[in-house]
Amino acid sequence: MTDPAAPSEAEAAAAASEEEEVAAVAAAVAGTSTTLEVAAANPLRDPRDKRLPRVAGPCVMVLFGVTGDLAKRKLLPAIYDLGNRGLLPPGFSLVGFARRDWKDQDFAQLTHDAVKAHARTPFREEVWKQILEGIHFVPGEFNDDGAFDALAMALAEIDQTRGTGGNYAFYLSVPPKFFPVVVEQLKRTGLSDAPEGSWRRVVIEKPFGHDLQSAHELNEITTSAFPESSIFRIDHYLGKETVQNIMALRFANNLYEPIWNRSFVDHVQITMAEDIGIGGRAGYYDGIGAARDVIQNHLLQLLALVAMEDPTSFDANSLRREKEKVLNAVRLPANLARGTARGQYSAGWQGGEKVVGYLQEEGISADSITETYAAIKLEIANRRWAGVPFYLRTGKRLGRRVTEVAVVFQRAPHLPFSKDDTEILGQNALVIRVQPDEGITVRFGSKVPGTAMEVRDVSMDFAYGESFLESSPEAYERLLLDVMIGDPPLFPHQREVELSWKILDPIEEFWTTQGQPEPYDSGSWGPESADAMMQRDGRTWRRL
């Protein structure tokens, strides 16, 4: 008899596969074999693994902004993790560009430290050595023509020595004010023009502007040098496994879609709560605020994935078309004072530590009206969703870090029980736990064991950690790989960016007339006005 708790053969093979893969990679990267051969060389690798054909050709990743937080915490570790998983192309080279008087070794040291501190997969000397062979640094200011000429020469040399064939991805991990000058330089040096048989791509990070007008201008600048098909706009939420799983949940199953509409759904709550404050990001965050920082991009993308119709396929055009349609159908509340709320954290306690308020953070002026909490009620004017509110909320210094999408269903039309027996029965809900504790929960009523017919909420859980032996890659691993492969579905199109600003602009405009946001204690769940907004609709925020 088999032990039901024991991993199945397939699961055991998959676990072994991951370890074997890492070992096989190390061996293969040392030689000249391709990633495909690495995978093929691994007998334990599950042949159904869809990553198999997703192999990038030789290329160079040029990183602008190597000393920034994003590069150190996310991008450089993600590159290493890809290498460790055998997913970097042969000859892969990494070029850093920054205003530092550095040599290759200095950039290599920064990369090494970042990898050691933040990589998801174990540190392996062999993998690191291979990455190290392809590391280069070009010092310079963004407005220094000589520095960009040197970059062009360095890239040409790398093509010769590492066989990267003129394929370059330029990652602009720099504040948007530098985009125009960097793009202009790439144009001037001819680096943005792909010679026959090679490719040139540019990767830009949010914020894509700070309103519709500036987003449009930014796009004009970028498209003056790169064709739309070569522009990869990163919204890292789309790279998260749990976010991609929204599409699997909805469109690979027959269970949910029939009830995924106004006839069954009461409302939807999308929450992105963070326990951290703004840390050292005052320069970026002040004047931007919670809504521009994450609602314009991450939360509206979540809304689009939850509410869109099924795309005819998962290619970029079909997927983007459906997201655009639904974003186009989003309607703001008629009364913005009643349908939105904003707040600013004040001092309080978090994780047993006393923390300062937003206005006392370093670099923030004492009269800043930037919101660190935002809640918005939206509706979607189409047949599927008419009358179903979508409540979006986000905030810094809230009770805990949690991102989730909760689809809350209407109550059963009739309850053939006594009132007392269903007193603590809530509404059915399906909760997509984006992070942490990734998974899905279904909440429904169940009889409490005993002689009475008492009904109470229970939940059924799917947890990634329990169902899969594979660990989830970091969002940036997936997205960087997609850039190198040239696979665009997980990158928002400019039209989505502009539609999202169209939703947000009137709210931002309204808020600027409202003075100081309502203060809320650090470690709490936000301002009272956000609770009042829900109460007016006879609802409450989920307690997380």
Token code pair at residue 412: 């059963």
Residue 58: CA count within 13 A, CB half-sphere: 18
According to DSSP, the residues that pair with 172 across neighbouring strands are 64, 204
* Contact between residue 489 and residue 481 where contact means Cβ atoms under 8 Å apart: no
- Least separation in angstroms between residue 311's CB and ligand BG6 is 25
Q: How far apart are CA 379 and CA 341, in angstroms?
A: 16
Taking the C-alpha atoms of residue 168 and residue 13, their distance in angstroms, rounded to an integer, is 36
Binding residues for ligand BG6 (CB under 6 A): 274, 293-294, 403
Burial readout 504-538 (b: 16 or more C-beta within 10 A, e: otherwise):
bbebbeebeeeeebbbbbbbbbbbebbeebbeeee
CB of 150 to ligand BG6, least distance (A): 32
Residues 6+ apart with CB under 8 A from 74: 118, 236, 474, 476
Q: How far is the CB of 120 from ligand BG6 (least distance, A)?
A: 13
Q: How far is CA 330 from CA 43, 88, 291, 375, 380, in A?
A: 50, 40, 16, 15, 4
Measured from the CB atom, the residue of 346 and 403 that comes closer to ligand BG6 is 403
SS3 category, 113: helix
Q: Which is nearer to ligand BG6, 47 or 351 (CB)?
A: 351
State in angstroms the smallest separation of the CB of 293 from ligand BG6: 5
Q: Rounded CA gap, 407 and 170, in Å?
A: 39
- Minimum Å gap between C-beta 281 and ligand BG6 is 7
Least spacing, CB of residue 32 vs ligand BG6, in Å: 36
Smallest separation (angstroms) from ligand BG6 to the CB of 231 = 19
Rounded to 10°, the helix 9-30/76-84 angle is: 110
CB of 352 to ligand BG6, least distance (A): 21
- The residue (of 77 and 140) whose beta carbon lies closer to ligand BG6 is 77
Decide whether 293 or 498 has the Cβ nearer to ligand BG6. 293
Nearer to ligand BG6, 274 or 498 (CB): 274
User: How near is the Cβ of 86 to ligand BG6 at its closest, in Å?
Assistant: 25
- Residue partners of 350: CB distance under 8 A and separation at least 6: 275, 397, 522, 523
493 is catalytic: no
* Greatest Cα-to-Cα distance within the chain, rounded to the nearest angstrom: 84
CB 292 within 8 A of CB 507: no
CB-based contact 208:493 (threshold 8 Å) = no
Contacts for 248-256 with beta carbons within 8 Å, 24 or more apart?
A: 249/432, 249/440, 250/306, 250/310, 251/310, 256/430
Among residues 241 and 322, whose Cβ is nearest to ligand BG6? 241
CA–CA distance from 153 to each of 58, 144, 182, 226, 300 (Å)? 18, 15, 17, 20, 42
Q: What is the CA radius of gyration of the chain?
A: 25
Nearer to ligand BG6, 293 or 322 (CB): 293
Residue with nearest beta carbon to ligand BG6: 293
Which residue number, 250 or 281, has a Cβ lying nearer to ligand BG6? 281
Question: Which is nearer to ligand BG6, 293 or 482 (by Cβ)?
Answer: 293
Interatomic CA distance for residues 33 and 166, integer angstroms: 20
Smallest gap from residue 219 Cβ to ligand BG6 (A): 19
Helices 125-133, 9-30: axis angle to 10 degrees equals 40
Strand partners, 202: 170, 231
The residue (of 259 and 356) whose beta carbon lies closer to ligand BG6 is 356
Measured in whole angstroms, the distance separating CA 250 from the mean position of its chain's CA atoms is 19
DSSP assignment of 269-332, as one string?
A: EEEEE-S---TT-HHHHTTTHHIIIIIIIIIHHHHHHHHSPPPSSSSHHHHHHHHHHHHHTEE-
461: which strand partners?
Answer: 441
In the chain the first and final C-alpha atoms are separated, in Å, by 42
Active-site residue among 112, 210, 236, 298?
Answer: 298
* Catalytic annotation, residues: 298
